[in-house]
């Protein structure tokens, strides 16, 4: 017998049929008259994380929102990640109430704004929230799925369709945006934490949003001051036996061979990554006219890879 109850899945299931931990973002965009709009969003997650020419986020939003219409028009937005300060979350809830931009933006803002760093002369680039702990400055990948065909003028009581599947207008009231990340702006304290190594004491105070529940409130938790982040070590890599590495290595390229000493370097490489690592070595060997890869060569390849990683930091 199952230890769970089977719960009905309804619209907005992530907040009506589940407890789903989410980030809290205030998204800044530029209105048609050049003024600033800020809307609150939680459904915004990493989308392209590696192996593509750009990094990207995906945002899910109402297509009648100011944010959606501004992104359709300007293609630019800034994802401002707010801290768990109660006055900021209260402000996020105020800015999350649906309505015309001028109504909510005429109230005094609880946030301090400043100029971003991506294309500083582009008037379509919105200001960023100086109180955020990090900001992603983004450009909509409007060419994906031909999403640049969607026009703000076609949105009234939602959009009449036809709809795209994953980028642009995706249903009568819905929109998805794949947002290329142009810049990640980080407050110095957390920049240092990332560059010099995180400890339990140098994480930013990140709120966890549980969404709009009980038809009355947005629920969130503050960053726990007394219970710090806990580091859970990943399992020690299991050593793979040399014979199985030899089996894979001998099948990569008929002209390039590996010595046992070279292959011993790979006993701790997780199985799904072994072929990629061996392919990398073979590519290096071909570039350098090496036909027998030895331990020394692997060290050179590793040094080269580490230097490239450092350069990307
Ligand atoms: C904390 C918080 C998170 C929200 N997350 C989302 C979201 O991910 N997607 C969405 O469509 N609306 C979300 N909303 C509701 C929007 O903020 C609301 O539609 C608002 O009118 C958008 O502002 P805008 O029209 O200026 O873009 C959220 C509201 C709050 C308070």
Query: Which pLDDT value is given to residue 15?
Result: 94
Model pLDDT for residues 185-222, shown as the tens digit of each residue: 999 999 999 999 999 999 999 999 999 988 889 999 99
Model pLDDT for residues 220-242, shown as the tens digit of each residue: 999 887 777 777 877 777 778 89
Atom of ligand 1 lying closest to residue 70 CA: 27
Query: In angstroms, what is the span from residue 230 Cα to ligand 1's centroid?
Result: 31
Q: Whose CA is nearest to atom 4 of ligand 1?
A: 41
Q: How far is 71 from 208, CA to CA, in rounded Å?
A: 25
Query: In angstroms, what is the span from residue 67 Cα to ligand 1's centroid?
Result: 9
278, pLDDT greater than 90: yes
> For ligand 1, is residue 42 a contact (CB within 6 Å)?
yes
Q: Is 217 exposed, middle or buried (0-12, 13-18, 19+ CB in 10 A)?
A: exposed
Q: Is 134 left (phi over 0), alpha (psi -120 to 50) or beta?
A: beta
Q: How far is 303 from 249, CA to CA, in rounded Å?
A: 21
Query: In angstroms, what is the span from residue 27 Cα to ligand 1's centroid?
Result: 9
Helix (H, G, I), strand (E, B) or coil at 22: strand
Model pLDDT for residues 162-174, shown as the tens digit of each residue: 999 999 999 999 9
The proportion of the chain whose per-residue pLDDT surpasses 90, expressed as a percent, equals: 87
How many C-beta neighbours within 10 Å does residue 297 have? 20
Query: In angstroms, what is the span from residue 202 Cα to ligand 1's centroid?
Result: 29
> For ligand 1, is residue 62 a contact (CB within 6 Å)?
yes
Domains of the chain, with CATH numbers? 13-221 (2.30.110.10), 242-312 (1.10.8)
Ramachandran angles phi, psi of 212, nearest 5°? -85, 115
Place of tokens 């004491």: 201
Q: How far is 233 from 192, CA to CA, in rounded Å?
A: 22
> For ligand 1, is residue 209 a contact (CB within 6 Å)?
yes
Q: Whose CA is nearest to atom 31 of ligand 1?
A: 93
Q: How far is 14 from 237, CA to CA, in rounded Å?
A: 35
* Strand partners for 212: 218
Mean pLDDT of 287-302: 96
232 or 50, which is more confident: 50
Give the model's confidence band at 41: pLDDT under 50 very low, under 70 low, under 90 confident, else very high. very high
Query: Which pLDDT value is given to residue 20?
Result: 96
Contact by Cβ (8 Å): 76, 140: yes
Contact by Cβ (8 Å): 277, 266: yes
What burial letters (b/e) apply to 182-201, b meaning 16+ CB within 10 Å? beebbbeeeeebeeeeeeee
Contact by Cβ (8 Å): 137, 117: yes
How many C-beta neighbours within 10 Å does residue 274 have? 16
Atom of ligand 1 lying closest to residue 43 CA: 8
283, pLDDT greater than 90: yes
> For ligand 1, is residue 61 a contact (CB within 6 Å)?
yes
Q: Is 143 exposed, middle or buried (0-12, 13-18, 19+ CB in 10 A)?
A: exposed
Ramachandran angles phi, psi of 284, nearest 5°? -65, -45
* Poorest-pLDDT segment among 88-92, 94-98, 149-153, 305-309: 305-309
Query: Which pLDDT value is given to residue 148?
Result: 97
> For ligand 1, is residue 218 a contact (CB within 6 Å)?
yes
> For ligand 1, is residue 263 a contact (CB within 6 Å)?
no
Place of tokens 């973002």: 25
Give the model's confidence band at 77: pLDDT under 50 very low, under 70 low, under 90 confident, else very high. very high
Place of tokens 């957390």: 190
Model pLDDT for residues 140-190, shown as the tens digit of each residue: 999 999 999 999 999 999 999 999 999 999 999 999 999 999 999 999 999
Q: How far is 121 from 186, CA to CA, in rounded Å?
A: 21
313, pLDDT greater than 70: no
Query: Which pLDDT value is given to residue 312?
Result: 62
Task: Please state the pTM of the whole predicted model.
Answer: 0.88
> For ligand 1, is residue 92 a contact (CB within 6 Å)?
yes
- Residue 91's Cβ-side half-sphere holds a number of Cα atoms within 13 Å equal to 22
Contact by Cβ (8 Å): 127, 135: no
């Amino acid at each position: 017998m199952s230890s769970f109850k089977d719960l009905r899945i309804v619209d907005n299931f992530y907040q009506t049929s589940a407890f789903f931990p989410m980030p809290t973002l205030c998204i800044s965009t530029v209105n048609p008259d050049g003024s600033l709009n800020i809307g609150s969003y939680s459904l915004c997650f990493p989308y392209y994380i590696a192996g593509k020419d750009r990094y990207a986020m995906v945002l899910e939003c109402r297509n009648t929102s100011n944010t959606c219409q501004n992104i359709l028009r300007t293609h630019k937005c800034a994802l401002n990640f707010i801290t768990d300060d109660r006055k900021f979350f209260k402000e996020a809830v105020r800015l999350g109430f649906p309505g015309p931009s001028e109504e909510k933006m005429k109230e005094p803002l609880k946030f301090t704004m400043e100029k971003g760093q991506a294309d500083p002369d582009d008037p379509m680039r919105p200001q960023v929230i100086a109180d955020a702990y990090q900001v992603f400055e983004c450009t909509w990948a409007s060419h994906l799925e031909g999403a640049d065909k969607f026009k703000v003028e076609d949105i009234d009581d939602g959009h009449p369709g036809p709809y795209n599947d994953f980028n642009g207008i995706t249903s009568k009231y819905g929109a998805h945006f794949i947002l290329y990340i142009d810049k990640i702006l980080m407050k110095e304290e957390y920049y240092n934490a990332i560059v010099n190594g995180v400890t339990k004491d140098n994480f930013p105070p990140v709120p966890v949003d549980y969404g709009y529940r009980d038809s009355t409130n947005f629920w969130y938790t503050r960053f726990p001051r007394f219970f710090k982040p806990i580091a859970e070590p990943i399992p020690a890599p299991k050593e793979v036996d040399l014979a199985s590495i030899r089996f894979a290595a001998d099948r990569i390229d008929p002209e390039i061979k590996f010595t046992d000493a070279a292959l011993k370097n790979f006993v701790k490489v997780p199985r799904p990554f072994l072929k990629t690592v061996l392919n990398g070595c073979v590519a290096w060997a071909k570039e350098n006219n090496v036909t027998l890869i030895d331990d020394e060569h692997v060290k050179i390849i590793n040094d080269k890879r580490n230097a490239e990683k450092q350069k990307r930091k």
